[in-house]
Amino acid sequence: MNDEANYRQGWRMVWITFVISGLAFGILGSVGVFLKPLVAEFGWTRGEASLGYTAAAFSAATFGIVWGLVADRIGTRPLVLMGVVFLSLSLYLLSNQTALWQFYLGYGIFGALGLSSVTGPLYASIGHWFSRNAGLAMGVMASGAAVGQGVIPFIARFLITDYGWQNAYFAMACVYIFIGLPMALLIKDPPSRIAARQNKGPVIDEQVFVLPPREVVTWISCAVVFCCMCMSVPIVHVVAMTSDRGVDPQSAAAVLLLIMLAGAFGRILGGKVADMTGVLKAYLMMSLGQTVLVIWFPHVEALWLLYGFSILFGIFYSGVMSTILVSLRVLVPARHAAVAMGVGGFFGWAGMGLGGYMGGVIFDVSGDYVWSFNAAAIAGAVNLMILAALFLRVHRRTALAEA
């Protein structure tokens, strides 16, 4: 298959991944919508309910490394097929939950066997279809997750209002299996990944990379923990925070919808900026915007202003997500792509889980969300310092190599 044929096939894989990742991340984005109905039903605290998000994030983090190693050896399609089945199964289990441990189990299965086996292997594969516009392609691919995180919670809110939370979970389980399985059967790996897996054909010379893969993954993983802590507080808690002000549940859910829909554009923008300026500069710019914006959420009172503010945050937060993916694609060789995504994902999901739980616990202690969002901004500042150090490290190594 020549470069042009690979390019066309790569874009087909981008759109398939757009749909599948949208379904997967839609479940995760729905945690905040189900939070208050479950608290009302079972009498849990918000910290306890927020821990469901943490269970999903940490299980995805742990198993993402495993599925990355497996994908580097057997390919992507088997893992995606398995993941789609477990996405639906986890929703079915959640529709029948009656205790807190079952809530954690359902989201744990979703993260360990669904989300992590779908997203990491797919994300590692897509970028290697492209010899040009890799950032743009990965940004479009990643925007599916943002659309899913916006649209599916909004639909779930309608289902909860009209039919109850149990039926909402069950309806989502049925839809996911009928959409996801046919899409998963269409998955293919790019030639470079197949060649690396089989030790056939040309292999990318790792000497062209400025830093060794392990060092790159270590730097990015350290940064990712803190940037994901920063972004997860609004994702998990903005619906509850808005409804606490007396806003009706549907209008409150619209705040998250706007964040995610704007995020679809932000992920594409982040990928394109990475193509134009370099991945680390783009990552720094998007992280700075996210960090500056997150601290203001509890202080924006007017609903229309909160909507506008949410759009801005969605653009920058999702730009961060796509630049992380592009960084791992550009700075790590094809033979290590899936495990690099898995390790990066481990620390990303750890940060998401810590941030979501942190926001709930701080709310329980303080009685409002001001300090929850302050803590998110502090995490964002730490992320910026790590990224700046990595940027200087790469700049110095590049200068030495060119001297």
What is the reported pLDDT for 57?
78
Q: What are the sequence ranges of the domains in the chain?
A: 3-195+208-398
What is the reported pLDDT for 326?
85
Contacts of 194 (CB under 8 A, 6+ apart): 75, 200
What is the dihedral angle through the alpha carbons of 310, 312, 315, 318, rounded to the nearest 10 degrees?
-50
What is the reported pLDDT for 1?
54
What is the reported pLDDT for 208?
57
Cβ-contact 23, 148 below 8 angstroms? yes
What is the reported pLDDT for 207?
41
Q: Considering the domain 3-195+208-398, what is its CATH architecture?
A: Up-down Bundle (1.20)
- At 284, the amino acid letter reads L
Cβ-contact 183, 20 below 8 angstroms? yes
Cα separations (Å) of 191 from 5, 75, 202, 205, 337?
11, 11, 10, 16, 13
214-249 burial, b if ≥16 CB within 10 A, otherwise e? eebbebbbbbbbbbbbbbbbbbbbbbbbbbeeebeb
Instruction: Residue 24: name the closest of 354, 398, 372, 349 by CA.
Output: 349
pTM (predicted TM-score): 0.74
What is the reported pLDDT for 200?
52
pLDDT in tens, the chain (403 residues): 567 777 888 899 999 999 999 999 888 878 878 888 988 899 888 778 878 877 887 888 788 888 888 887 888 899 999 999 999 999 999 999 989 999 999 999 999 999 989 888 888 888 778 877 778 888 888 888 878 877 888 889 889 988 999 999 999 999 999 999 999 999 988 887 777 766 654 444 444 567 888 888 899 999 999 999 999 898 888 888 888 888 887 788 788 788 878 888 888 898 888 888 888 999 999 999 999 999 988 888 888 888 998 999 999 998 998 898 888 888 887 777 777 888 887 888 788 878 988 888 898 898 888 999 999 999 999 999 999 999 999 888 877 766 6
